[in-house]
Amino acid sequence: MLNGTSILVVEDDPAVARSLTEGLEREGYTVQWEDTAEGAVAHARDESPHLVLLDVRLPDGSGFDVCRRMRELGLRMPVIILTVQDDEVDKVVGLEVGADDYLTKPYRLRELLARVRAQLPRAYGSLAATAADILYAGDLVIDRGRGSISRAGEDIVLTPTEFRLIVHFAQHPGQVFSRDQLLEAVWGYSAGLSDEKTVNVHVRRLREKIEHDPAEATLIVTV
pLDDT tens for each residue of 61-100: 999 999 999 999 888 889 999 987 666 666 778 788 889 9
Q: Among 28-37, 141-150, 184-193, 205-214, which is the least confidently predicted range?
A: 184-193
18-39 tens-digit pLDDT:
999 999 999 889 999 999 999 9
**How far is CA 87 from each of CA 79, 92, 102, 103, 185, rounded to the nearest angstrom?**
18, 9, 11, 11, 25
User: Three-state secondary structure along 66-127?
Assistant: HHHHHHHCCCCCCEEEEECCCCHHHHHHHHHCCCCEEEECCCCHHHHHHHHHHHHHHHHHHH
Q: What is the DSSP letter of 145?
A: T
CATH architecture of 6-126: 3-Layer(aba) Sandwich (3.40)
* Total-model pTM: 0.66
* 216: Cα within 13 Å, side-chain hemisphere: 2
Percent of the chain with pLDDT over 90: 40
SS3 content of the chain, % helix, strand, coil (to 5): 45, 20, 35
Under CATH, which number does the domain 130-216 receive?
1.10.10.10
> In the chain, where are the structural domains located?
6-126, 130-216
